Amino acid sequence: MTAPHDAERRSATAPITTSDLLRHHRELLGYTQEEFALQHGFSIRAYNEMENGGKVSLSHMRALRDALQMGPQARAQFFRLVTGDAPSLKGLNISSGVDPTTANWCASHLVVQDGPAVLLDGGWNAVRFNEAWAELFSGADEVGEGAAHPLDHPLNNPMRFCLFHPAAPRMLLDYEESWLITAMCQFVHHFQLYPQNHQLLEIRRRIAADAYLHEVYRNRVREEFTERGVGCVIERDVEERALLVDGRRQTILFTIVIPWHAREYGYQMLTLTPVDNDESRRQRQRQPVEHHAPSRARTASDAIPPAPAPGAPGPATTASEEAIQPAAERVQTVGELLFRYRSRLGVSQEVLSRRPGFPVSPRTYRDWETGRSLPRKKYLPALAAALHMPDAVKGLLHFLITRGDPPTSGIRGGPAIAARSRRWVREHVDDRRQPAPFALMDGTWDVIACNNAYRRLFGHLPEPDPNHPATNGFRYVMFHPDARETLAGWYEEWMIPWMVEFGATLLRHHDRLHPEHAALLEEVESYPELWDAYTGPVRRALQGRGRAIRFEGDGDGRGLWLPGPDGDPAHRVYQPIRLTSGIPLHGLSYGYNFACLRPYGEPTAGPGKPPAKPGPAPAGWGA
């Protein structure tokens, strides 16, 4: 079934433009084009061209976001429209406490962990941890040598513990390969985005002051990024590692989960779940581990004084401080990455740039490799193909140029990702570890796995059905007739927020729309009420207007109208739930996400059926 659409309605599917955002925010401030240009240092002609669809440079984008007083959502959307990507991180939220949304998220995902778990903010400060984490690391200072190190303690900041605490090489077995390199790569990623952040600058200064760490930073980490690109961080999720626990080796499964509400600010939850397999049991039965930490020159640099306050006179520049000048020093530059991969091919700049299909002239390529200019994003596919770069390294090149998230690799991973997901599911979805209804979904919201509590929640619906919530979460909310009956406040609380996320997904992929996304869009078009929502409030939200509604409203209180004790769907009770969501790190490149519907409070008796939902039913609904 396909509803007729005129040209005007079809044009609503076109991506939001920079013109939309510029015009809207200028008008909010009450300026004409000429007044705004003169007030903020743009030529009238240049600004008129930008607002009327002309190219917006990265420097103009940054200036316009400030001049137009854009809020966080609009700033991120403007970045997306200019670069084609979402910003890798909107900021690094250095938490000074636990806000209610984060507290609710922790209640659903951190507290339920039976192994050590900690939630970190954008500076790797421990926002909240469970008793198992506290017990594991309570004696960290006793394992080390000398005085206590409170600022570097794992109950305070696990990143600084891994890098600087003298107990780290003893407690974290296979220290350099399994722990240090990964931690350093993640630090580099954040530092390249926010080189002026005072906490990151202090960490970088301490790395530069330690000969061993500085060598790792300058060489090993550089090599990791060259060989594995963005994979040097993402690929370490769902990985077995080892700890020294009570003098014996303990194998753990290391996983990383990104809370949905804080995904753009560097938050992550680490879990170190003990692995009880045959090899782990054999290790525990052996003699206590005699682990020799790598040789590291530990001196008074372990207690480097804090950097001077802004504007305060500082000491003369030391050798270690020269090593981090300028502040935005990158472990890997675009030019160096190009040079390394060209050198592996054994060809000159001239020969490479004259090969068939190479996108630019020898002179332009030479400017890229020497750092005089950067490639435009449109040239990256041909450039990466000519240099035989793996996908993860191509993603790194993309990040270095745009500072945006690399394009997703698809909507679901292959066998290797599937194997990681199966193991992740055992640790995070299983009923024993997650008693609340929980579902893990891929990049088109097909359910990869769900627990029995989730299936019981929707047990009144027959299976199989392509619109069943245990089959596809998005299709259930949009197309299943039961959604209006079961999801309290269906239109405002469920359908609109999820449609906003669907629209954001289409915008991220508008130039290479996946066939499954295109099919979902065609189906949305066939329902007048859904289409009106998509072209109305959803479009305004994607333009940065209206209230900041996000997918699922992570941490929100919602409600479900569930069949009562008699099981009759016509007689329902109201069950309040806390809806939380997040991203498993290994599925980040494929759009994986999960939803958890944690009941709280007792079901309350309601009317015989839920109150009527707003708006007429779409044509053919439930047919």
Q: Above 50 in pLDDT, residue 296?
A: no
Question: Which residues, in sequence order, are CB contacts of 75 under 8 Å at separation 6+?
Answer: 65, 90
Write out the E strands in 46-120. 117-120
Picking from 218-232, 289-303, 442-456, which range would have the lowest pLDDT averaged per residue?
289-303
Is residue 37 in some structural domain?
A: yes
Q: Which of 402, 435, 459 is the last residue of a domain?
A: 402
pLDDT tens per residue, range 411-421: 888 898 999 99
CB-based burial, 55-88: b 16+ in 10 Å, e otherwise? ebeeebbeebbebbebeebbbbbbbbbbbbbbbb
pLDDT tens per residue, range 204-230: 999 999 999 999 998 899 899 888 888
Is residue 306 in some structural domain?
A: no
Looking at the chain, the whole-number percentage of residues with pLDDT higher than 70 is: 80
Q: What is the mean pLDDT of residues 546-569?
A: 68
Is residue 407 in some structural domain?
A: no
Based on the domain organization, do 249 and 387 belong to the same domain? no
Based on the domain organization, do 586 and 532 belong to the same domain? yes
Inter-residue contact 440 to 592 (CB < 8 Å): yes
How many other C-beta atoms are found inside a 10 Å radius of the C-beta of residue 291?
A: 15
Name the pLDDT band for 519 (thresholds 50, 70, 90): very high
Name the pLDDT band for 362 (thresholds 50, 70, 90): very high
Q: What is the mean pLDDT of residues 85-100?
A: 74
How many other C-beta atoms are found inside a 10 Å radius of the C-beta of residue 107?
A: 17
Domain holding 48, by residue range, is 7-69
Model confidence, pTM:
0.80
Residue with tokens 């939803």: 595
Question: Tell me, what's the pLDDT at 131?
Answer: 94
Residue with tokens 């401080």: 321
Based on the domain organization, do 40 and 152 belong to the same domain? no
Inter-residue contact 108 to 596 (CB < 8 Å): yes
Question: Which residues, in sequence order, are CB contacts of 484 under 8 Å at separation 6+?
Answer: 490, 613
Based on the domain organization, do 429 and 524 belong to the same domain? yes
Name the pLDDT band for 510 (thresholds 50, 70, 90): low
Q: Which of 49, 69, 89 is the last residue of a domain?
A: 69
Based on the domain organization, do 356 and 283 belong to the same domain? no
Based on the domain organization, do 425 and 394 belong to the same domain? no
Based on the domain organization, do 53 and 142 belong to the same domain? no
Residues in the chain: 623
Strand partners, 579: 556, 597
Q: Above 50 in pLDDT, residue 549?
A: no
Strand partners, 446: 472
Is residue 525 in some structural domain?
A: yes
Picking from 8-17, 181-190, 485-494, 506-515, which range would have the lowest pLDDT averaged per residue?
8-17
Is residue 599 in some structural domain?
A: yes
Inter-residue contact 379 to 359 (CB < 8 Å): yes
Based on the domain organization, do 382 and 509 belong to the same domain? no
Q: What is the mean pLDDT of residues 138-151?
A: 67
Picking from 16-30, 195-209, 496-510, which range would have the lowest pLDDT averaged per residue?
496-510
Q: Above 90 in pLDDT, residue 471?
A: yes
Provide the CATH number for the domain around residue 524: 3.30.450.180
Calpha distance 186→228 (Å, rounded): 13
Pick 329 or 184 by higher pLDDT. 184
Is residue 104 in some structural domain?
A: yes
Provide the CATH number for the domain around residue 25: 1.10.260.40
Main-chain dihedrals φ then ψ at residue 438, nearest 5 degrees = -145, 135
Q: Above 80 in pLDDT, residue 621?
A: no
Inter-residue contact 254 to 237 (CB < 8 Å): yes
1-7, Cβ contacts within 8 angstroms, sequence gap of 24 or more: 1/526, 1/619, 1/620, 1/623, 2/522, 2/525, 2/526, 3/525, 3/526, 3/527, 3/528, 3/531, 3/619, 5/525, 5/531
Based on the domain organization, do 112 and 143 belong to the same domain? yes
The total of structural domains in the chain comes to: 4
Based on the domain organization, do 438 and 386 belong to the same domain? no
Q: Say which amino acid occupies 539.
A: R
Based on the domain organization, do 241 and 380 belong to the same domain? no
Which DSSP state fits 152? G
Based on the domain organization, do 121 and 208 belong to the same domain? yes
CB-side neighbour CA atoms (13 Å) of 66: 8
Is residue 324 in some structural domain?
A: no
Name the pLDDT band for 478 (thresholds 50, 70, 90): very high
- Mean pLDDT score of the chain, rounded to an integer? 81
Q: Above 80 in pLDDT, residue 548?
A: no
